[in-house]
Amino acid sequence: MKNINDNIKKIGVIGAGSWGTALANLLADKGYHVDLWAYEKEVVEDIIKQRENRLFLPDISLSENIFPSDSLKSVVSENTFLLIVVPSHTMRDMCKKIASHVQEKTTMITASKGIEDGTYLTMHGVIAECIPAIDKDRIVVLSGPSFAREVAKKVPTAISVASKDRMTAEMVQHIFATDYFRVYVSDDPIGLELGGAVKNVIAIAAGFVDGMQLGLNTRAALITRGLAEIRRLGIRMGANPHTFAGLSGVGDLILTCTGDLSRNYTVGKQLGQGMTMAEIQDKRVTVAEGVRNTSSVYHLAKSLDIELPIINEVYRALYENSSPANAIARLMTRPLGHETIELEEI
């Protein structure tokens, strides 16, 4: 039987941070020719000379099938299958830069996690708005519990890909799937994206709990009530509530709220241990999307008049000088609620 992807030989990857590099390596290992655009010239040179990206994914040997480049124009214009993995706050600028080079019939996959401040668009929404040449059905979201370093080490991992067009999502499923990277198809791009973006904010709160050494009861409560907030927001944004029981909902929430590899959880933990945001950010080269996304999710919820108590408390701690201890105290003394009624409202 002819494989549905037999005609795709080349893939362009935009963004060579840890996730872009890990996914580029996965695709290159499968035999695809991968053109990888990197923002930093030193990353391009490092991959050419050392077959390594020591800045963002050290100690992982990279395939000879990866062709690093600092030319956005050539990576975009020479590929009709593009994976974009830039930090979410740079997505709009990036899409504007590449829009005129994008070919018709391009399939674009986004693996970035975030909600744009001001517009409250998820990443596929930003792509659709800025690159009209791409058919909306050919924009695919890839999301789920996946630390780049573990994927790069071929640790068994499962994620989801979503598009409104099932055939496109299935094509992407087959392109990425390996014996250590299991890919499920979903028809709910907005649900996948909201799960992937909002869990980063909840992970910061989970970090508070562990930084303050509160206990496992507290963390389990936080994760569960965090999921309730993700679901509440997701339903109002038009997502399928069942999506949040899946990989890009509870799956990514568990990973990010419990895994020391998570940048978002680590930021929260450091705050819980008494560090300030300024001290934490001074030392970072990598992105913790939840920091910016706390602000976008907070303002989005306000604009929709939805109550998201954990998100509110993370916002206060990050942007209004409140402390993680105050956050937990306020969450525990809110008016008592009714879990069954809340779940039945879905």
- In this structure, which amino acid lies at residue 131? I
HSE at residue 17, side-chain half, CA atoms within 13 A, is 17
Minimum CB distance to ligand G3P smaller for 150 or for 165:
150
Site for ligand G3P, residues 273 to 292, rule: CB under 6 A: 289
**262 is known to lie in a ligand binding site:** yes
Give the pair of three-digit tokens for residue 272.
Answer: 């819980």
Helix, strand or coil for residue 233?
helix
Q: In this structure, are strands 81-84 and 66-69 parallel, antiparallel, or unpaired?
A: unpaired
Interface pick for ligand NAD out of 11, 12, 13, 15 (rule CB under 6 A):
15
Interface pick for ligand NAD out of 36, 102, 148, 250 (rule CB under 6 A):
148
Among 161, 97, 95, 104, which residue's Cα sits nearest to residue 129? 95
Which of ligand NAD, ligand G3P, none sits in contact with 78, Cβ below 5 to 8 A by type?
A: none
> How far apart (Å, rounded) are the C-alpha atoms in residues 97 and 106?
16
Active site includes 97?
A: no
Interface pick for ligand G3P out of 110, 168, 186, 256 (rule CB under 6 A):
256
> What torsion do the CA atoms of 42, 43, 46, 48 make, to the nearest 10 degrees?
-110
Minimum CB distance to ligand NAD smaller for 111 or for 201:
111
What x-and-dash track marks residues 117-156 binding ligand G3P by CB under 6 A? Answer: ----------------------------xxx---------
Interface pick for ligand G3P out of 92, 113, 231, 292 (rule CB under 6 A):
113
Which of ligand NAD, ligand G3P, none sits in contact with 63, Cβ below 5 to 8 A by type?
A: none
Interface pick for ligand G3P out of 262, 270, 296, 312 (rule CB under 6 A):
262
Rg of the chain (C-alpha set): 20
Which of ligand NAD, ligand G3P, none sits in contact with 112, Cβ below 5 to 8 A by type?
A: ligand NAD
Secondary-structure percent of the chain, ordered helix, strand, coil, rounded to 5 = 55, 10, 35
Helix, strand or coil for residue 109?
strand
69 contacts 100 by C-beta, under 8 angstroms = no
DSSP string, 129-153: HH-TTS-GGGEEEEESS--HHHHHT
Site for ligand NAD, residues 24 to 63, rule: CB under 6 A: 39-40, 56
> How far apart (Å, rounded) are the C-alpha atoms in residues 103 and 50?
32
Q: Does 90 bind ligand NAD (CB under 6 A)?
A: yes
**16 is known to lie in a ligand binding site:** yes
> How far apart (Å, rounded) are the C-alpha atoms in residues 31 and 336?
56
Helix, strand or coil for residue 302?
helix
**246 is known to lie in a ligand binding site:** no
Q: Does 71 bind ligand NAD (CB under 6 A)?
A: no
Minimum CB distance to ligand NAD smaller for 5 or for 90:
90
Which of ligand G3P, ligand NAD, none sits in contact with 256, Cβ below 5 to 8 A by type?
A: ligand G3P
Residues that bind ligand NAD (CB under 6 A): 15-20, 39-40, 56, 85-88, 90, 94, 111-114, 146-148, 286-287, 289
Binding residues for NADPH: 18-19, 113, 148, 263, 287, 289
Active site residues: 199
